[in-house]
């Protein structure tokens, strides 16, 4: 049997959920056409079904955990196309009136295997047309680290701004991660400077595959995202990438290569530092 395919989907999502679902379905249809019988792990970008101008607009469409039309639609897609699907992020209600930026892993039967809520929130000023981002005003920070065991491999989940915080990835590696998944919506300014650098670094320093799926283009709300979605191997080699616009990049999960690298360079057993997630 061939190695599982690792697929990073790039979108240019809009504020319209139905439009975005059609765009996702289009990519999955083409992926299955090219790989009709392969085992697939497909990662969608952040805000895959709702790319709004303001976070409070996203909150209006937030859903309860494990119920709601967006989750139902994503479950149906994973089941119809028979693949593991990391559903970018959607808004899932938090108890304080805000929402979580939730990344949900579905299996080929359409079941939710786990949910990761974005831990690090994007409260920064950027020299772009949008200027100021204050994600925490409407988004509640996640309180847990998620590494989910699957037949393909152990999947460590992160989202966008998390990429800048290496301790999260180190902890996921210590928890047994083989593959990092990173749905993102990096701005053009920050992406041009750091997207590839950080994506490759997180893969190398933790000896894991990285599926980095970004929004990539000019959106209907005027924001511009960087793109360059990619699949990186544990040696830091970019196996495949896509520049801008909709499409996907494809790599392979080679467990033998992964294990051989970790045996030759046993970084986890040599690590002398530990970090702890601070609860908000």
Active-site option among 5, 39, 46, 208: 46
Closest C-alpha among 104, 278, 106, 124 to residue 186: 124
Would you call 5 a catalytic residue per the annotation?
Answer: no
Would you call 46 a catalytic residue per the annotation?
Answer: yes
Active-site option among 48, 160, 208, 241: 160
Q: How far is CA 70 from CA 64, 89, 265, in A?
A: 10, 11, 43
Active-site option among 5, 47, 48, 118: 118
Would you call 118 a catalytic residue per the annotation?
Answer: yes
Strand residue runs (E) in 44-83: none
Angle in degrees, 0-180, between the axes of helices 17-34 and 69-81, rounded to the nearest 10: 10
Q: Which residues contact 74 (CB under 8 A, 6 or more apart)?
A: 49, 85, 87, 90, 104, 106
Q: How far is CA 214 from CA 44, 225, 252, 269, 274, in A?
A: 8, 8, 19, 32, 29
Phi, psi of 101 (to 5 degrees): -85, 95
Which residues are annotated as catalytic? 46, 118, 160
């Amino acid at each position: 049997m061939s190695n599982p395919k690792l697929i990073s989907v790039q979108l240019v999502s809009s504020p319209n959920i139905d439009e975005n679902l059609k765009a996702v379905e289009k990519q999955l249809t083409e992926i299955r056409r090219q790989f009709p019988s392969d085992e697939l792990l497909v990662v969608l970008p952040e805000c895959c079904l709702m790319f709004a101008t303001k976070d409070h607009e996203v909150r209006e469409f937030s859903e309860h955990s494990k119920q709601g039309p967006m989750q139902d639609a994503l479950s149906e897609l994973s089941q119809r196309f028979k693949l593991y699907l990391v559903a970018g992020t959607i808004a899932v209600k938090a108890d304080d009136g805000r929402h979580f930026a939730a990344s949900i892993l579905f299996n080929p039967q359409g079941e939710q295997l786990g949910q990761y809520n974005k831990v690090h929130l994007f409260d920064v000023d950027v020299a772009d047309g949008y200027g100021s981002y204050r994600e925490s005003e409407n988004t509640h920070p996640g309180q847990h680290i998620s590494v989910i065991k699957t037949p393909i491999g152990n999947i460590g989940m992160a989202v966008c701004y998390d990429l800048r915080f290496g301790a999260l990835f180190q902890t996921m590696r210590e928890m047994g991660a083989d593959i990092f998944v990173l749905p993102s919506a990096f701005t053009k300014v920050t992406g041009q400077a750091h997207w590839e650098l950080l994506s490759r670094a997180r893969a190398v320093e933790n000896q894991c595959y990285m599926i980095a799926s970004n929004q990539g283009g000019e959106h209907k709300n005027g924001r511009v995202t960087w793109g360059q979605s990619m699949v990186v191997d544990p040696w830091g080699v970019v196996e495949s990438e896509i520049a801008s616009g909709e499409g996907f990049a494809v790599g392979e999960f080679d467990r033998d290569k992964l294990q051989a690298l970790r045996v030759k360079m046993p970084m986890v057993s040599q690590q002398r530092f530990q970090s702890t997630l601070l609860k908000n």
